[in-house]
Copies of this chain bind each other. A is one copy, B any other.
Amino acid sequence: MKINLPLLGKTKNSFIETGMKEYSGRLKHYTPITLNVLKVKKKKGWTEQQERQEEGRILLANTMPGDVKVVLDSTGKQLSSEQFADLLSRWEQDGRKQASFLIGGPTGHSKEVLQQADVTLSLSRMTFTHDMVRMFLLEQLYRAYTIKAGEKYHK
């Protein structure tokens, strides 16, 4: 199963960019991964809701029909790393071709994105920057694949 991680805008912190490359590089040994940086053209005078809708439209346009859509959101379900690995295994067993992980913009996800979610996932009750969420998720994806492969990965 391929991993698709569309990114709303560039990663701002260079150390996080480095971390993302580190974990996506390791992840590639287990499964193909696509990291597309998407441009969001915001118009002056837009409300937060309009921005969210545009961001959501762009995110969804970067998924394929039939993708498992995993929406990262603070209201989502919290899983342990092992449960997350099990979930990925289940989707693979179900013959799913690709899982798309959707990280929202600064004000969160639009209704449209939340409605299309197969799973809504929360990494922590704490709030993190977008950039940080990208790196956390890639680290957890890499961790999940090492768990699935029965390999030892340091805590």
Q: How many whole Å from A44's CB to the nearest CB in chain B? A: 20
Number of copies: 2
Q: Is A22 an interface residue (CB 8 A)?
A: yes
B79, B128, B154: the one within 8 Å of A139 (CB):
B128
Q: Which residues of chain B are within 8 angstroms of A78 by Cβ–Cβ distance? A: 124-126
Which stretch in A12-20, A31-39, A54-62, A91-99 binds the other chain?
A12-20
- The reply to whether B106 and A129 form a contact with Cβ atoms under 8 Å apart is no
Q: Which residues of chain B are within 8 angstroms of A16 by Cβ–Cβ distance? A: 15, 19
Complex alpha-carbon distance, A154 and B15, angstroms: 17
Complex alpha-carbon distance, A136 and B16, angstroms: 12
Number of interface residues of A (CB under 8 A): 29
**Which A residues contact B (CB, under 8 angstroms)?**
13-16, 18-19, 22, 78-81, 84, 106-107, 123-130, 132, 136, 139-140, 143, 154-155
Complex alpha-carbon distance, A66 and B116, angstroms: 51
- The reply to whether A127 and B15 form a contact with Cβ atoms under 8 Å apart is no
- The reply to whether A126 and B15 form a contact with Cβ atoms under 8 Å apart is no
- The reply to whether B129 and A79 form a contact with Cβ atoms under 8 Å apart is no
Q: Which residues of chain B are within 8 angstroms of A136 by Cβ–Cβ distance? A: 126, 128, 132
B15, B125, B127, B154: the one within 8 Å of A19 (CB):
B15
Q: For the A-B complex with A79-B126, A129-B154 known, give 15 more contacts whose Cβ atoms are closer than 8 Å.
A: A13-B19, A14-B18, A15-B16, A15-B18, A78-B125, A78-B126, A80-B125, A80-B126, A80-B127, A81-B126, A124-B124, A124-B126, A126-B136, A126-B140, A126-B143
